[in-house]
Structure 1
C-alpha cells in the first residue's frame, strides 16, 4: 500500500491540444493549434506560417523531421476543416458579419503512481461550449440547442466514435508517456526544489517558497517544533515557471513572540529529495536559514537514447486528432464533410 506521502507526491501528467479558428479578426491568425504537456507548450501551428514547430528543445531533440512534417500536414488539414466549420456555424446561428471564434480542446491525463487515466474533448463557439464527448458512454452531447443536429450526425458515425475511444485509451496516453520521458531526460529526470524563507514587509507573515523543481508533485508544510501545523497555513497553487520547472509557496502568520517561544520549520518533500528550512532570526528579523541538502540524484535515471523514438513514417502523432480533422474524421464517402455536422 502506498503511504500518504507517496500518494501526495504522485504526479498527474496531461497532454492537451487547443485549436482556435477565427473569422473577422484581422490581427489574429485564422487558425492556431497548440500542443501542451503539463502546462508547457510543446508545439505550435498557425495559418500564417502553415508549419508545425517545436516549442521545447527536447521536442526538437527527440523527434525527427518526419514527425514535424507529419504534424504540419495534419495542421493544414485541420486548418482547412475548421475554416469550413466556422462558416457553417455562422449560418446556423444566423450570423452574416462580425468577429467569431471556434475553439476545440482535447486531451488525456495519466497518474504515474496509480496509472489511472482519463480524457476529454469539447468544442466552443463565441465563448460558449456547444458540444462535448461523453467518454463513458461514447456519445456526443449537445450543449446548445443549435448543435443538436451536429450531435445526432456525429453519433451515427460509429467508426469515428471507435476511433476516438482508441485515441483516448491508447494513442494519446502512449504519446503523453513518451513526451514526459523526453522532458524528464532533458531535466535530468528530476530536479530538486530550491527553498527560501522570507518575511513580508511590516507583517508577521512568513513565506516558504519552493521553486525550480520537476516534476510538479510536491508537498510543502510548516511545523511548530515537532508538530505539523494544520490550521492557519495559506497554501498556494503549484505554478509553472518559464523554463518548464514549477514553484509553490506556503504562508503562515507568526508573531515575533511566538517565534521566540517555538521553532518553526518549513518542510518540502519532492521526488528529488526532502528539504528542511528552520526559521532563524535575530532581534525579531529573519537573518539566516538552516537547510538540509536534498538527497542524491536517482542513480537509476535513464540516460541512454530512446530506442523507440517515434518516427513520422511508423506512428501517427498524438496531435490534431479530432472529429474536425482528417486524421480523426475520414470522409464518409457520401460527399458530405462529416466534421461539419451539416
Structure 2
C-alpha cells in the first residue's frame, strides 16, 4: 500500500507565497486483492484535517469532525453518501478495465483519484488539481493551464481522447476547480475556524552553559503539526541532534524543541540554522546560530529578566523529558486515495 500513500504528496503546494494557505482535498481509492482493506474508500481533508470518510464496508459518508456534524444538515450527509455510493461502482469497473489494459489478471491492484483546491486567505490566490493513478503511478492528469486531460502512459490514451472530447466534462472540471471547490473550502474553513486556525511559532535558541547542547525552541504555534530541525551549511543535520516531543501549552498552542550538540568552534566556521515548519503556514521560520542569537544565563550570574528565565526553565523540562523518553516517531499519514476512471469522467460524482 506504500505506493499509493506516497503518490500524491506532491499535490500539497500548488503555488508559493508566504501567508496562510487553506486546502480542500478528496482522495478516492479502489482496490482488488488487498486483504482486510475496503474495496473502495473516500477521504476528505481540509487543511490536512480529515473531515469525512466513506468506505464500501459501511457504505455511509460520516463526519470526522464535530464541527462538520454541527454545521451541516442531515441532507448533506445523505447527498454525500449517494455521491460516494455511485462512485463505488464506477471505481470497481475501473479496476477491471485497467487490469485488462495492462494485461493483468490476479494480484493486488489500486485505482486512485485525488482532486482539490487551495486558497491563500491573504493574497486571494487560488489553485486546483485533479489526478488519477494506477498501482502507485500517475495515469491521467488535468492541465489547469489548458483545461484538458494529459496522459503520461500509453494505456491512458483511450481515456484521454474520450474525456477531451467530452465538452460537458471539461466544463465541469474547469468550473469545479476554479469556483465550486473554492466556495466549499471557504465554507469549511469558516465552519471549523476555531480548529483550523493557524498561529505562527516564536523561535528561540537557548543554551544553559557553553558546553551544553544548543536548543531550538519553538512555542506558541497552532496546529500541532510541526517540523523542527537543524541544518548545517544548508543541509539537514541528523547526527548529534535530539528531537523533543510536541507538548501542549496552557493556552491551547504547542511547543517543540530540537537539541544540537556542537562546539562553539564548529558553529563559528560553519553555518548552522534551525528551521521550523508549521502545518498550513507556508513560511519557514529560521534562526541562524550566532552568538547574538543564543539566549543564556551563563554570562551573568545575576537575576535575568523573567521571560528568559521562563524559557530556560522550559528547556530544562524538555531536555529532561528527552533523556528518559525515546525519540518520538512520526505519525501515520492516512493513505491517499483516488481513482482512475477509465471509462467515466466522473463529473456526476463531484461536490456541486
Calculate the TM-score normalised by the size of structure 1.
0.65
Report the equivalent of 2:308. Answer: 290
| Pairing partner for 2:74 from 65, 84, 97 | 65
Q: Does 1:279 align with 2:295?
A: yes
The alpha-carbon distance between structure 1 residues 97 and 19, as it changes in their structure 2 partners (threshold 3 A), is same
Q: Does 1:174 align with 2:183?
A: yes
Distance (whole Å) between structure 2 residues aligned to residue 147 and residue 247 of structure 1: 47
Distance (whole Å) between structure 2 residues aligned to residue 125 and residue 242 of structure 1: 39
Distance (whole Å) between structure 1 residues aligned to residue 207 and residue 37 of structure 2: 43
Q: Does 1:114 align with 2:112?
A: no
The question of whether the paired residues in 1 share the 8 Å contact of 2:206 and 2:294 is answered with no
Shift of 1:252: 6.8
Report the equivalent of 2:155. Answer: 146
Shift of 1:142: 0.7
| Pairing partner for 1:77 from 75, 86, 91 | 86
Shift of 1:128: 1.1
What's the CA shift string for 1:185-230, capped at 9, x where partnerless? 346x565757786669x863322223541598x9x9x9xxxxxxx9
Q: Does 1:44 align with 2:53?
A: yes
SS in 1 for 2:308: strand
Gaps of 5+ in 2: 1-15, 239-245, 268-273, 282-286, 288-292, 312-337
Shift of 1:55: 1.0
Give the 5 Å matches for 1:76-115: 76-115=85-124
The alpha-carbon distance between structure 1 residues 109 and 158, as it changes in their structure 2 partners (threshold 3 A), is same
Shift of 1:245: 7.4
Q: Does 1:324 align with 2:346?
A: yes
Distance (whole Å) between structure 2 residues aligned to residue 251 and residue 242 of structure 1: 15
Report the equivalent of 1:22. Answer: 31
Shift of 1:231: 7.1
Shift of 1:26: 2.6
Distance (whole Å) between structure 1 residues aligned to residue 310 and residue 345 of structure 2: 52
Distance (whole Å) between structure 2 residues aligned to residue 211 and residue 195 of structure 1: 9
Give the 5 Å matches for 1:179-190: 179-186=188-195
The alpha-carbon distance between structure 1 residues 199 and 180, as it changes in their structure 2 partners (threshold 3 A), is farther
The alpha-carbon distance between structure 1 residues 18 and 28, as it changes in their structure 2 partners (threshold 3 A), is same
The question of whether the paired residues in 2 share the 8 Å contact of 1:82 and 1:324 is answered with no
If asked which structure has higher relative contact order (CA below 8 Å, sep 6+), I would say 2
The alpha-carbon distance between structure 1 residues 107 and 289, as it changes in their structure 2 partners (threshold 3 A), is same
| Pairing partner for 1:135 from 133, 141, 144 | 144
Calculate the TM-score normalised by the size of structure 2.
0.63
The question of whether the paired residues in 2 share the 8 Å contact of 1:192 and 1:214 is answered with no
The alpha-carbon distance between structure 1 residues 122 and 267, as it changes in their structure 2 partners (threshold 3 A), is closer
The question of whether the paired residues in 2 share the 8 Å contact of 1:190 and 1:215 is answered with no
Distance (whole Å) between structure 1 residues aligned to residue 235 and residue 297 of structure 2: 20
Gaps of 5+ in 1: 1-6, 223-229, 260-265, 294-318, 330-342
The question of whether the paired residues in 1 share the 8 Å contact of 2:113 and 2:131 is answered with yes
Number of paired residues?
275
Divergent runs of 4+, >6 A: 194-200, 230-236, 241-254, 256-259, 319-322
User: Which structure has the highest strand share of the two?
Assistant: 1
The question of whether the paired residues in 2 share the 8 Å contact of 1:204 and 1:256 is answered with no
Report the equivalent of 1:164. Answer: 173
SS in 1 for 2:192: helix
Distance (whole Å) between structure 2 residues aligned to residue 98 and residue 231 of structure 1: 46
The alpha-carbon distance between structure 1 residues 235 and 256, as it changes in their structure 2 partners (threshold 3 A), is closer
